[in-house]
Each structure stands twice: as C-alpha cells, then as structure tokens.
C-alpha cells in the first residue's frame, strides 16, 4: 500500500483509455490522434466560451495532489460507535473528500452543502499562490507537520472584498471540492448548494463545468425572511439553492408530499357512491387556457343533455359526434387529454359535468356552452405519487432555525432550518439505507433533519457530516457557552437531538410502535489525522546523506504515536472499505487479528508466526494485510507466508 488517496489525474486518464485507447501513444495522449477521433467536436481555439480565473491552474494542482491523511476513530465522543451508521467527521473537508474517494465512490444518493456565501466576512481555506514562489509561500504560512507537510488549517483565513482575488479565491476553494463531491454521487445522485447573490452567477458557471450544463435541474428561490428594510434598492429576502444531477438521464423526477393546507382547501369533496365511496377528491378542469397545442386533443365531447362542447377556437371537426376531432391551429384551444384518455376516465367515473354561466367552452352552434367539464383527482392517489415541487420555497425561513436551536439551547448564527433539509431529502426520495452527505456541516442541520425524518417514517437513512474545527468568535455566545470550535457545536447539537428523540420515545412509545426496526440514534465520530505511517519523500532526498536518513527512518515505517485501532481504520479506508464496515477482533493461534467484513479481509498488526499463517490460509480470506515489521529479522517466515498466501488464492500485502 502506498498510503495515498486516489490519484484523480490517473483515474481520468484510465477512464479515457477505456473509451478511447486509440488516442494514446506510448502511454500519453496524442493530441493529433485526438483531433482525428473527435473531428469537429474538438475546440483548440484560443477564443471560446470558458470559465477562467486567477488561480484556476493552482486549483487543479490542489485537486490532483494525493492525500496521505487518514481518519481516526473517536469512540469517546461518539454515541453507540459500534452499531450506528451515522458518521460525523471533524476535519478540513477537501482532505476528507480525498480520503473518502476509494470508500464512497459512487455511493452517495444526495449531497447538501451550505458553503460560505463570500460576503466579504467569510473565512475559508484557499490557496493564493498567484505570484509567490513555493518557498516564499511556505515560509509565510509556516504551518507544517513533523514531516514537513503543510497543514491545511494554515490556509484558513478571511476572504476580504478588498482582496485583489476576492472572487478567484472563492472559486479556487469551491472547484476541487465540487469535483470530488461529484465522484461520490451515485449515477442517480443529486446535489443541492445554497448560495446568495454574491456568488450565484459564479457557482452556476462552475457547476456547469464540473457537472455539465445538461445536468442542471433548477435554481430554487428560498425566502430567508419576511419583511425587513435592509438594502439600497431591494430588501434581500431570498437566497438560492442550485440543484444538479450527476446524470440527468438516471435521475428520477422529484415529488413533494401534499401539504395539509392543500388537502383542506383542494381535496375537500367526498365520493358518495361507487367503489371509491367515502374517499376524498379534488376537481380539475379538463380544458385550461394556455395548454400546449397537440394534434389529437381538439374534439367534441357529448354532455348529459345531448349537446356537444369543444374548447374555444376557430376550427371545428366536420362531424358533430363524440370524439370527432380536428388538428388545431395556434388559435384553437385543446383538451388536456387525447380522446382515448378522456374515454378511459369517463368509464372510471372520474368525469364531472357542471352547469355554469361562465364556461369558456363552445357548443355545436358556436355559442357559449352552459357546461364545464372536470375530472376527479383522488387524494389517496396523490398522496402516493406526490406533486411536482415548486422552485420557490417560502415555508422555511431562517427564524425557524433560530427556534430549533433555542429549543436545544444551542447558539449559532445563520443556520438553515432542519425542515428545509427534510423537504429536500423528501423530494429526492432518499430511502432505506441511502446516504446523505454534507461537507459544510456547520451546526449540524443536515444530521438533525435526518433524525427527524427517520423518526417520522421509521426509515433508515444515513448521513456523513464533515466540519472543520473552525474557531468560534471569542465574543460569540457559543464561545462563552464553552464551544471553542464549530465542530464542537455540531457534535453537541447532534447529541441533544438524539437525547430529545430518546426522551420522546420513552414518554410516548406508542408513537414508535409501527416502526419495523429500532431507530439509529447514534453518531460515529472520526477525526482527520496525519497518516500513522511514515511517508517516503522524494523531494527531501537530495543527496546521499539525506537518502540514508530516510532509509534509516524506514526500518520501522510506523510512527511512534500510532495506535492499532487508528492503523486499522487507515488500512480499511485505503483498501476501499467504508466507515461502517463490520470489524471483529479475534485471536488466531493466540495472536490478535482483525476480521473485516465477515472475514473477507484479515489484518495483522501485533504478531505473526507460522501457526497464524496456517490458520489464515485455512479460512481463507480474499485479502490479508500485515505490518512488514512483524517479519523483522525473519526473511524465511515472510517468504513462506507470501508463497502460502499465493497458493491459497489470498491477496497478501505488507506495510
């Protein structure tokens, strides 16, 4: 194992090789062959429509740089660590996204993020090496780990509007994160990004580039607050949520639940006869002005008194009889269905004729008809199917989040309401054990929403929330309450939500009686850490002496502070296992080993001998990983182990 995250650049090259092997010469892309293959679809001109900014090339380097970081478990800060599948990660989100690439590639159903809006008061991590040399840059930042690697927290700073690269800094911060986030989405996955006027235009362009303009779904306007008098020209009452699919062809249409107001005001009629007696329904006109003109949707309909009606227009079918049709022009109105669909609804008893003096329909003499025609919309059917959601949301203002946090006795400014995230999860139809990711977790609204939604319907959705341990303002109420970082606020909010639901369950168990299985009321905490293993550095081995030092250091590649549990999780992540992988500690011939995913992989970190090897190959696992230092001064044991594992069909690796 090389101890590094996925190589994004090499992965893209491999993908290109799969679909276009003919454009490679001696392992590299041949631009001339690419031209021949793509023909007119290849644009190499200098003048073309493209998004560019100062630092874009550097943002790509940041994206392509592999990470050696890992995630260390923090069971003491968790709730039900061994059983829960809800994950909170404390750490810088770009590094975390890189660490998660192998384990969660193509596994996330939905992503919601609320990144910095870039108002001029936001702080975030961004590289700003526009004119500095690398040495100057590292000296100025001055934050390195014990091996000389730059710590990302050293790049955390305020992005002021006075900065010459104000928008560029924000774009450089967002681009690699969105790129890596797209990798994690399933083919039918969707991402929602909250933003305001400061960067909505840039966000739309950058997401078009990363996700493809064809995968744009909508820009939702959300009412943040009602009233107010701030602003010079308009009061800023809305922000936006940009919605993109990973692959629009694979993405199901969104549906939202019917509200109680809709039920009360629309589905307020009761069927008095037939096989749907007692059911609630609403009514909708079969003719509505402004419908798209379709060739088979202008025809005569017979009314209860024997007269015939048709939508307003200038052209009429020659024969006046039921279903007789004519191709409409732009001046003609049409029914919402073709005649066959109307007939089917009529047979089902779903058509209602009503007399009125205001009908828009015409009779066979060209006069205003006394009839209007409606179809019944059954509440039961609509509850099952839902309704197409609006791209305007006015139900979830920020004051609701303030109330939610007050109930939990948590102080945090500018949080989104949990109801908003619940609504978005609902319309995407995240179900079962599907995962929602939020890598700008803030105060933990997404986690809060998941617990509430699972409580309501007994489902088993999972979350992964990522938050940087960003320091709270010393003058803030949160700091005074003892929360030194936003990550601490997030974890505490999750704990209090869990505690509140548990209390509700104890006090009113009947509310949870219909649920098929126990709610997952846990939180598994991990923290971003440097690798537990020493990393070989080519850049410092500039002479024979430096090379000798590195070789001496690598006699034992394990760092002094490394713990077995932390090494185990690093090995799991870098082997492509996720953070909810089942791990069992067991003894084989008296030696402790870890059985991963019901014995699919065995990890040896403490001791190994011939009897352990024999027992392992009897099982055998698909893969076995062992610390190389366990074979110290026993080359024969290592050679025999390699041969026995190979004979047993076990993939054997050492670190």
State phi, psi for 404 to the nearest 5 degrees.
Answer: -60, -45
Residue 399 lies in a domain: no
Last residue of a domain, one of 475, 496, 527: 527
Contacts of 103 (CB under 8 A, 6+ apart): 572, 573, 576, 577, 578, 579
CATH number of residue 126's parent domain: 3.40.50.150
Last residue of a domain, one of 465, 494, 527: 527
State phi, psi for 271 to the nearest 5 degrees.
Answer: -65, 130
Residue 396 lies in a domain: no
Q: How many CB atoms lie within 10 A of CB 273?
A: 8
Confidence of residue 136 (pLDDT cuts 50, 70, 90): very low
Which has the closest alpha carbon to 599: 623, 615, 621? 621
Q: Give the helix ranges, DSSP H, for 39-131.
A: 56-64, 93-104
Tell whether 444 and 502 lie within a shared domain: yes
The number of domains in the chain is 4
Q: Is the pLDDT of residue 403 over 60?
A: yes
Confidence of residue 1 (pLDDT cuts 50, 70, 90): low
Residue 167 pLDDT: 85
SS3 410: coil
Q: Which residue has the tokens 């919309």?
A: 377
Range of 346's domain?
260-385
Q: Tell me the DSSP string of 5-19.
A: ---HHHHHHHHHHHH
Q: Is the pLDDT of residue 140 over 60?
A: no
Query: How is residue 516 annotated by DSSP?
Result: S
Residue 93 pLDDT: 95
Residue 29 pLDDT: 87
- Give the residues across from 653 on adjacent strands: 625
Query: How is residue 368 annotated by DSSP?
Result: B
- Give the residues across from 281 on adjacent strands: 269, 378
Residue 135 pLDDT: 46
Calculate the dihedral angle through the C-alpha atoms of 533, 538, 539, 542, rounding to the nearest 10 degrees: 120
Residue 171 lies in a domain: yes
Q: Is the pLDDT of residue 67 over 70?
A: yes
Which has the closest alpha carbon to 422: 257, 626, 643? 257
Which bin fits 444, alpha (ψ -120 to 50), beta or left (φ > 0)? left
Tell whether 243 and 309 lie within a shared domain: no
Residue 537 pLDDT: 62
Interatomic CA distance for residues 220 and 373, integer angstroms? 34
Inter-residue contact 418 to 452 (CB < 8 Å): yes
Interatomic CA distance for residues 181 and 210, integer angstroms? 10
Tell whether 265 and 341 lie within a shared domain: yes
Residue 549 pLDDT: 67
Tell whether 321 and 210 lie within a shared domain: no
Which has the closest alpha carbon to 571: 617, 526, 533, 528? 533
* Angle CA 247–250–256, to nearest 5: 100
Residue 69 lies in a domain: yes
- Give the residues across from 240 on adjacent strands: 195, 221
Q: How many CB atoms lie within 10 A of CB 651?
A: 12
Contacts of 270 (CB under 8 A, 6+ apart): 278, 279, 280, 281
SS3 52: coil
Residue 550 pLDDT: 64
Interatomic CA distance for residues 616 and 651, integer angstroms? 12
Which bin fits 606, alpha (ψ -120 to 50), beta or left (φ > 0)? alpha
Residue 3 pLDDT: 73
Residue 155 pLDDT: 53
Decide the pairing of beta strands 392-393 and 216-223: parallel
Q: Tell me the DSSP string of 231-260.
A: SSSS---EEEEEEEES-GGGPPPP-BPPPH
In the chain, % of residues over pLDDT 70? 88
Helix, strand, coil proportions of the chain in percent (round to 5)? 35, 20, 45
Residue 183 pLDDT: 97
Residue 394 lies in a domain: no
Residue 43 pLDDT: 62
pLDDT in tens, 587-645: 999 999 999 999 999 999 999 999 999 999 999 999 999 999 999 889 999 999 999 99
pLDDT in tens, 361-375: 999 999 999 999 999
Residue 537 lies in a domain: no
Q: Is the pLDDT of residue 141 over 80?
A: no
Dihedral sign of CA atoms 430, 436, 441, 447 in order: positive
The tokens describing 654, both together, are 């050492």
Confidence of residue 133 (pLDDT cuts 50, 70, 90): very low
Tell whether 220 and 286 lie within a shared domain: no
Tell whether 510 and 557 lie within a shared domain: no
Which has the closest alpha carbon to 423: 245, 182, 265, 258? 258
Residue 402 lies in a domain: no
Residue 124 pLDDT: 64
Higher-confidence position of 120 and 532: 532
- Give the residues across from 89 on adjacent strands: 466, 526
Distances (CA, A) of 292 to 312, 339, 341, 372, 643: 14, 16, 17, 20, 72
pLDDT in tens, 285-325: 999 999 999 999 999 999 999 999 999 999 999 999 999 99
Interatomic CA distance for residues 478 and 445, integer angstroms? 16
Residue 143 pLDDT: 43
Residue 542 pLDDT: 64
pLDDT in tens, 76-121: 999 999 999 999 999 999 999 999 999 999 999 999 999 998 877 6
Burial class (CB in 10 A: 0-12, 13-18, 19+), 631: middle
Residue 603 pLDDT: 97
Among 48-57, 90-99, 525-534, the range scoring the smallest mean pLDDT is: 48-57
Confidence of residue 538 (pLDDT cuts 50, 70, 90): low
State phi, psi for 608 to the nearest 5 degrees.
Answer: -150, 145
Inter-residue contact 198 to 119 (CB < 8 Å): yes
pLDDT in tens, 467-493: 999 999 898 888 999 999 999 999 999
Tell whether 499 and 644 lie within a shared domain: no
Decide the pairing of beta strands 651-654 and 524-529: unpaired
The most confident of 225-229, 233-237, 341-345, 399-403, by mean pLDDT: 341-345
The most confident of 117-131, 134-148, 173-187, by mean pLDDT: 173-187
Tell whether 330 and 463 lie within a shared domain: no
Interatomic CA distance for residues 393 and 23, integer angstroms? 48
pTM of the predicted protein model? 0.83
Tell whether 93 and 211 lie within a shared domain: yes
Distances (CA, A) of 207 to 192, 217, 340, 367, 452: 11, 11, 43, 54, 30
Calculate the dihedral angle through the C-alpha atoms of 143, 146, 148, 154, rounding to the nearest 10 degrees: -20
Q: Which residue has the tokens 């644009």?
A: 43
Decide the pairing of beta strands 24-25 and 28-29: antiparallel
Q: What is the mean pLDDT of the chain?
A: 89
Tell whether 447 and 488 lie within a shared domain: yes
Tell whether 25 and 135 lie within a shared domain: no
The tokens describing 7, both together, are 């190589």
Higher-confidence position of 50 and 89: 89
Q: Is the pLDDT of residue 254 over 50?
A: yes
Dihedral sign of CA atoms 319, 322, 328, 331 in order: positive
Tell whether 587 and 495 lie within a shared domain: no
Residue 117 pLDDT: 87
Which has the closest alpha carbon to 145: 64, 68, 250, 199? 68
Residue 289 lies in a domain: yes
């Amino acid at each position: 194992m090389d101890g590094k995250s996925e190589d994004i650049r090499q992965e893209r090259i491999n993908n290109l090789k799969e679909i276009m092997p003919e454009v490679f010469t001696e392992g590299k892309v041949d631009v001339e062959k690419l031209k021949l293959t793509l023909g007119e679809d290849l644009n190499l001109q200098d003048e073309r429509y493209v998004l560019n900014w100062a630092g874009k090339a550097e943002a790509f380097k940041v994206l392509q740089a592999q990470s050696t970081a890992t995630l260390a478990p923090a069971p003491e800060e968790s709730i039900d660590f061994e059983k829960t599948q809800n994950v909170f990660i404390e750490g810088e989100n770009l590094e975390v996204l890189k660490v998660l690439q192998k384990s969660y590639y193509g596994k996330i159903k939905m992503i919601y993020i609320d990144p910095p809006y870039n108002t001029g008061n936001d702080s975030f991590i961004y590289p700003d090496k526009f004119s500095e040399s690398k040495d100057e840059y590292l000296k100025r930042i001055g934050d390195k780990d014990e091996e000389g690697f730059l710590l990302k927290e050293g790049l955390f700073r305020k992005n002021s509007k006075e900065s010459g690269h104000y928008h560029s800094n924000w774009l450089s911060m967002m681009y690699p994160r969105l790129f890596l986030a797209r990798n994690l989405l399933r083919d039918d996955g969707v991402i929602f990004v909250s933003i305001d006027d400061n960067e909505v235009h840039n966000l739309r362009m950058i997401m078009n580039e990363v996700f493809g303009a064809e995968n744009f779904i909508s820009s939702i306007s959300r009412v943040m607050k009602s009233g107010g008098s701030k602003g010079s020209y308009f009061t800023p009452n809305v922000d936006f949520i940009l919605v993109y699919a990973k692959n629009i062809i694979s993405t199901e249409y969104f549906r939202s639940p019917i509200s109680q107001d809709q039920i009360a005001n629309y589905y307020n009629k009761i069927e008095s006869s037939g096989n749907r007696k007692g059911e609630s329904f609403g009514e909708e006109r079969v003719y509505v002005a402004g419908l798209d003109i379709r060739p088979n949707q202008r025809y005569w309909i017979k009314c209860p008194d024997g007269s015939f009606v048709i939508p307003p227009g200038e052209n009429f079918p020659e024969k006046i009889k039921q279903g007789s049709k004519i191709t409409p022009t732009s001046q003609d109105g049409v029914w919402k269905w073709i005649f066959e669909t109307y007939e089917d609804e009529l047979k089902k008893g779903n058509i209602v004729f009503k007399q009125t003096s205001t009908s828009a329909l015409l009779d066979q003499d060209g006069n205003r008809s006394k009839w209007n025609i409606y179809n019944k919309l059954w509440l039961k059917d609509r509850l099952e199917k839902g309704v197409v959601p609006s791209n305007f949301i006015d139900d979830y203002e920020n004051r609701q989040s303030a109330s939610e946090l007050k109930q939990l006795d948590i102080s945090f400014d500018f949080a989104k309401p949990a109801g908003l995230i619940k609504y978005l999860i609902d319309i995407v139809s995240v179900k079962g054990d599907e995962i929602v990711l939020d890598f700008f977790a803030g105060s933990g609204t997404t986690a809060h929403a998941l617990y509430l939604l699972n409580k309501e319907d007994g489902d088993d959705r999972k979350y992964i929330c990522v938050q940087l341990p960003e320091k709270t303002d010393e003058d803030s109420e949160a700091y005074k309450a003892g929360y030194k970082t936003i990550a601490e606020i997030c974890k505490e909010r999750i704990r209090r939500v869990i505690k509140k639901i548990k209390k509700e369950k104890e006090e009113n168990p009947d509310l949870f009686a219909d649920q098929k299985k126990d709610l997952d009321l846990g939180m598994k905490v991990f923290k971003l850490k440097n690798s537990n293993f020493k990393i070989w550095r080519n850049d410092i081995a500039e002479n024979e002496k430096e090379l000798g030092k590195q070789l001496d250091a690598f006699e034992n590649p394990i760092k002094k502070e490394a713990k077995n549990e932390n090494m185990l999780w690093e090995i799991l992540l870098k082997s492509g296992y996720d953070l909810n992988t089942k791990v069992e500690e067991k003894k084989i011939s008296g030696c402790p080993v870890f059985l991963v995913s019901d014995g699919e992989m065995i990890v040896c970190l403490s001791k190994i001998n011939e009897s352990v090897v024999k027992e392992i190959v009897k099982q055998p696992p698909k893969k076995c990983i062992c610390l190389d230092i366990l074979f110290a001064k026993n080359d024969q044991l290592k050679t025999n182990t390699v041969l026995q594992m190979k004979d047993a069909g076990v993939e054997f690796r050492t670190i």
